[in-house]
Chains A and B, each alone.
Chain A
């Protein structure tokens, strides 16, 4: 039986009436029309569906929608500040961190979650943070370069 739930998505309180077996991913895409979050494997292998759940990157395909009741979720639609891209998005655009773009929302959210976690943003830690995101186009070199650029940009911003 469908039940009502509420989730704060990108700062906005949203409600939906969903089946008990619905995933957070399907709720975002099908009930809230937030299709920026992608469905790749639907079994926690590819990371395309990564969103921030209460500030932490998770595979939204593995979260029961009702388990996210009352939670805060950030999707790719909520990363930019209005028309201004997030430093991570900017770095990916300017440094070729994406090609077809399907995996990109998930990689951006993993990166944003990593940069906000306070972990030392070394290349090694970045690779561990992004290990759960598959990209079949770039070969990852440009992805890692873009993240390193974003790290620099974020550091400069915080120094200013």
Chain B
């Protein structure tokens, strides 16, 4: 293999270790920005020394002299375009709204870029766009700018969408893995793996999983309720999309230099998801979510935080799943139902069904 020019592998896009390395070695290195280097879901950019008021904001005081904005972008290249519980358009809006919301921001404005393969049915495009509009309305954001490109047949797979978004970070809100402290409790707003398994079942035409529905949803309402219920006590949030719960927790453990312990029996998993994972030999801990948020809170407010999540329609099945510890820094340890403990590592590439 030596001497061959290195090529990009599909695994570089899977959200696992290879993706991380690509980002570090190519993008972070050349773009050379301290804000980018934090590698958060959304960049927090500050505009200092101003004295202005953002129209429509309820949280910003007119006298605020530092405006903090969260800014993020994401591209959506999924197949199939439509799946139970959502479609590429809903996903493109939710994904960007959620990346802003978990940074503690109130999402406001989105852009939408479309790369369309010639031959796509106009009706298909319109269905996707209507879905985006509905989702944006539900999330209380506006899509205010966009771009359209059409490429030759074969140069794209039907439809790719890029969205970017900005949101306003209320004063006093600072969320980051560096806030994690030993003793912090970790919550999640519901069941894991619904999105990944729903898409996989649809894509592979597996009938036994036909009752699975993606959890794809905008989380900004839920997160606003949570932040209001325990101001200052939410230390970090992240939406565990590609790579699933364990990948995100590993990112936290590494970034914070802290250990994380999770309790397998406490993690909510829908029965159908468990069954589909069992059949395929997959682990729901690594399966993608599109409507979930992991929250680290100070232990004193855990009950209030859990109650706030459970009071929201998107958090009814919220649960306390783990804790930050000063032991085994950088590692995530799972307690199995049988009483064993094991390290759960980040995945390298995509999870693959077993052969035998």
A, B from the same assembly = no
Chain A residues close to B by CB (< 8 Å) = none
